[in-house]
Amino acid sequence: MENELKVVDIFIGTTLRGSAKGSGRVMYIMRTKRKNGSDYEAAPQIVEYDNTTESESVLRAIRDALQRLHYACTVVIHTECSNVAAAITQHWPEKWQHDGWKSAKGNPVKNAVLWEMLLQEVEDGGHILLAESEKHEYAEWMRFNLPLKRALKDIFAEVLKN
C-alpha cells in the first residue's frame, strides 16, 4: 500500500463546446483523499481564454493542474470534452509524439504543442494520467458559475447560498 500513488481527481468544465473558436472560460477543481480518509478539495481555478476551442481550454486546464502537483500521482481527468478524454484513454498523444505529431491519417495533430507540454508534465512529474468523459458531479455547478462575471472562488460558500 505504501508504494501506491496518491489519486488526484481533476474535474473540468468550460463554457466552450466543440471545435469552433471563441472566447470562453475553463474551471477546474482538484480533489484527493487525506490520510484520514476525508476529501481535500482545492479552491476552483478559473481562467478566461480568447480565440480558443473546448479541447484547447481543457488541455490548458489539465496542464495548469498538473503543474500544481508536487509529487507523482495517479491523475484522473473528469471532463465532458470527449475528444480529450478519448485521446488520453487511448494513449494517442504518445503515438502522435512517436509519429512526429502526425495523426494515423498522416495529418498534423491539432493542439500538438499543448499535447506535448502535457506529456512533458506527466513525464516530469512521474504521473499516471487517466480520463473519464462524463457529466461529473461538479458539471451543473460549473455551468451555473462559469458564465458569471465574478464566479465565486469558494465552492462551499456558493453551495450554502442556494
Cβ(87)–Cβ(94) below 8 Å: no
Give the separation between CA 99 and CA 92, rounded to whole angstroms. 10
Give the model confidence (pLDDT) of 6-37 as tens digits. Answer: 999 999 999 999 888 999 899 999 999 999 99
The number of CA neighbours under 13 Å toward the Cβ of 23 is 3
Cell, residue 113? 504543442
Q: Which residues contact 43 (CB under 8 A, 6 or more apart)?
A: 153, 154, 155
Q: Which residues contact 86 (CB under 8 A, 6 or more apart)?
A: 92, 131, 133
**What is the overall mean pLDDT for the chain?**
88
Q: Give the CATH fold of the 6-161 domain.
A: Nucleotidyltransferase; domain 5 (3.30.420)
In this prediction the pTM is 0.87
Domain locations in the chain?
6-161
98: phi > 0 → left, psi -120 to 50 → alpha, else beta; which? Answer: alpha
